[in-house]
Structure 1
Amino acid sequence: MTSKDATLKTATVLAFERKLDPSDALFFSGDWEQRADPNAWSAIGLREKSVRGTISNRLKTKDQDPAKLDAAIENPNLQTVDVAALPADADTLKVSFTLRVLGGTGTPSACNNAAYQAKLVSTVQGYVDSQGFAELGRRYAHNLANGRFLWRNRMGAEQIEVHIQHLVQGRAATSWTFSSLDLPLRTFEVPATMQADVQAVADLITEGLAGTKHLLLQVTAYARVGAGQEVYPSQELILDKGNSKKSKTLYDVQGIAGMHSQKLGNALRTIDTWHPDVAELGPIAVEPYGSVTTLGKACRKPTDKLDFYNLLDGWLLKDKTPPLEQQHFVMATLIRGGVFGDAGKD
């Protein structure tokens, strides 16, 4: 270790742009047998529905008196919600978005410490020279092919087909079709019949991350869920409801039901099988502390020295090279992007 490395400090300003850049996804309806006809699909809009619910929440001890409960139940739980559904003559949901893959992983978009940036770039280059992005590219491709990005729309679907096109100057240079239900969600094992196609997409993503090829993918998923069935766009988080009485607001893009790009990105980066709770949880989204918000749990606690910051600081500042699987995690976090500077505040 040189004296320069010994005094190296984490930059107080350190930010990275995301390298997997999906658009919002749009929802359309149609018939399963007409998947090949791009003109056979109609946009799915949102509509409001008012429902009369019952009191079903857990009661406080003081409210468990039978008389009080009867009085509460006499007042119905009235709600207005947004819903999105297939029409009665359409049995298939079509979800469409584009994905841009950018090079320059490990090069910060903002960094106020030249020595730290030089060490960071050389460390990332060392990883690229020895490993490339092959493992990460394979996992991202798997999550495209298995339709994980459909979230709740994937559950209960009879058939799911994902079409991926490599767009060059606006036209499809190559295309692949995947039967998504044949690909697992908890592992990254691929059936022999699909290995070549998944690997082809993975190779493209790997080249895109390495910056050797401009990569834009068109991803279209078809989920056969049943005529008239409800579908599930993203739900908006309304911080200031004002006078709104609506209890659920769904996301739309110019009147078409849609899914946030952030939600798509979360599904694509659900590749972390290197955390301590993998036997219980399977892959989780790549996050600095392994956050799983639905469980209120951090799988990569700083006390275990497996969080992003401990691994990165050990690698750059102390020359402690992490195990290979944790190197994959650090690189996947840099691909995720974020603000990682050390503000120097306790």
Structure 2
Amino acid sequence: MEININTLPLKNLPSVLAFRRGVIVSDAPLEYGTEHGVFPVPVIRHGTMGTQNVNEKTGEKGDLETVAKGERDVRNLQVIESAKTGQGMIDLRVRFTLKALPLADSMYSCANSKAENKSDAEKMRAMLSDFIKRAESSSGLVEVSRRIARNIVNGRWLWRNRLIANSVEIFVTAGEKEWEIKDALRVPLYHFDEYSETEKEIGDLLAGGFRGNGDKVAINVLAILNLGVTGSTEVFCSQNYEPDNSRSKNSGDLSRSLYKLTIFGHEQQSGVQIVGQAAFRDAKIWNALRTFDTWYSEYGTIQSPIPVEPQGASLSMMDFFRRQKESSAFGLFKRLNQIDPDSQEGMYCIASLIRGGVFGDSEKKRGKEEGGEE
């Protein structure tokens, strides 16, 4: 049956609607440079003694009587992991690889669990196919690609290391092409205007990958940071989430666990337990690269981009900025047949497809919205 996409929007998304992430991103290992070469930044497990600073209820008289009575220890004894460079450190180096995949291959599944709703899934497939065809030739896709390029060359993906650096150089290679950004700290973080030629060229390469044009070229990125200090210095990689109830069982009361890669052939330092090489996990790199949603309604006030998320979730501000159905990916995908890829809504939809994820409406929710349940 031929689907006419020029009709009213869908009332509900299919119960199963999922998209693959439109990029391949590698982990980003941390290294440090010395006069004698480049070495992995080790993750060191060690003990530390801090102080108790949890905001707890005080006694009836408003004082901390429990401390004086010995019921609460002032000390906070912990086992933690830290990422530290070696004594001869001159600079910090972080690298990762990125590759754009065709938008046309982004859909993983689109179906309804109930046979009577099968037509909705068929219409959704047709709407997606039409939108992607229009997006492939749109200036909206070019803009989204250039925004990713800006977040590559401004070093947003370095996270806290960027904030403590005196200077950041970034080198990007793809095939036989090379780009050098000598002062990444001067590339804008909070807006996406006035792109440099470097950003345009890297963006065009990404856009070609999203269109499925030619070879799937990998983009290799290296950042070299001058931290303004030499010697053994703490740097910052991804941190693991450790549920409280798993610490004593699995990690020996480890209070802070860092993401790390295996270091092959690396000798243990005397008296120090080295448990791996510090790294950013791929998800943290990708979160930074897709932090370019300036199309949400509060941007004019907040003046800060947020990551492309279905409901505009921002961990830094602990809020959802697209909680309204009309502005969320869930709401916009229902009317893709009415959305111009060059519009702000269209560019957000393109970016959401590249982000990937699960967007379906459950059958229970469908029943409620259609009046099938009390």
**Bin for the TM-score computed over the shorter chain:** 0.7 to 0.9
CA distance in 1 between counterparts of 2:51 and 2:93 reads: 34
Q: Contact 2:131 / 2:341 at 8 angstroms: preserved in 1?
A: no
- Corresponding residue of 1:26: 29
Separation in 2 of the partners of 1:322 and 1:309? 17
For 1:47-86, what per-residue CA distance to the aligned partner results, in whole angstroms no more than 9, with x for missing partners?
A: 1221111121212143743422333564511011100112
Q: TM-score, normalised by structure 1?
A: 0.88
1:300 lines up with 2:322 in the alignment: yes
Amino acid at match of 2:199: V
Identity %: 29
Structural RMSD (CA): 2.4
CA deviation after TM superposition for structure 1 residue 288, in Å: 0.6
Instruction: Report the residue type matching 1:235 in the other structure.
Output: Q
Amino acid at match of 2:107: P
The 3 A distance-change label for structure 1 pair 26 and 66 is: closer
Indicate the larger mover: 115-124 or 178-187. 115-124
Worse-superposed segment, 330-339 or 50-59: 50-59
For 1:144 and 1:183, locate their aligned partners in 2 and report how far apart those are by CA, in whole Å: 10
Unaligned runs of at least 5 residues, structure 2: 112-120, 263-275, 366-374
| Residue 180 of structure 1: aligned partner | 184
**Larger C-alpha radius of gyration, 1 or 2?**
2
1:184-205, CA deviations, whole angstroms, 9 ceiling, x for partnerless residues?
11112357xxx12121111101
Give the structure 2 partner of residue 45 of structure 1: 42
Question: Displacement of 1:88 after TM fit?
Answer: 2.1
Q: 1:104 Cα deviation (Å)? A: 2.6
1:224 corresponds to which letter in structure 2?
N
Q: Residue type matched to 1:201 in 2? A: I
Select the residue among 275, 285, 289 that pairs with 1:264: 285
Query: What does residue 217 of structure 1 align with?
Result: 219
Structure 1 residues 221 and 251 mapped into 2: Cα distance closer, same or farther (>3 Å)? same
Task: Check conservation: 2:93, 2:225, Cα contact below 8 A.
Answer: yes
Q: How does 1:6-21 map to 2 (within 5 A)?
A: 6=8, 10-21=13-24
Q: Distance in 2 between matches of 1:107 and 1:234?
A: 27
Q: Amino acid of the residue matched to residue 17 of structure 2?
A: L
Deviations 1:238-290 (CA, angstroms, capped at 9, x unpaired) = 23221521100111111221111000000000010001121315111000100
Q: Determine the C-alpha separation between the residues in 2 that align with 1:50 and 1:7.
A: 58
Q: Deviations over 1:118-140 (max 9, x none)?
A: 22111221233343521011100
> What aligned pairs does 1:1-346 form with structure 2 within 5 A after superposition?
5-6=7-8, 10-31=13-34, 40-62=37-59, 64-70=62-68, 71=70, 74-105=73-104, 107-112=106-111, 113-131=121-139, 133-167=141-175, 173-178=176-181, 179-190=183-194, 195-213=196-214, 214-225=216-227, 226-227=229-230, 228-239=232-243, 240-241=246-247, 242-243=249-250, 244-254=252-262, 255-278=276-299, 279-302=301-324, 305-316=326-337, 319=338, 324-346=343-365
Letter in 2 for 1:233: C
TM norm structure 2: 0.81
Confirm or deny: 8 A CA contact 1:183 1:190 kept in the other structure. Answer: no
Shift of 1:44: 1.1
Shift of the 41–78 alpha-carbon distance from structure 1 to 2, 3 Å rule, reads same
Summarize deviations over 1:198-257 as a string: whole Å, max 9, x none.
211111011111110312011111111122221111111123221521100111111221
Contact 1:105 1:335 in 2 (8 A): no
Query: Structure 1: how far apart are the matches of 2:107 and 2:241?
Result: 30
Counterparts of 2:347 and 2:104, CA distance in 1: 12
Deviation at 1:339, TM superposition (A): 1.1
Q: Which moved more, 1:138-147 or 1:293-302?
A: 293-302
CA deviation digits over 1:103-125, x for unaligned, max 9?
13474111223332122111221
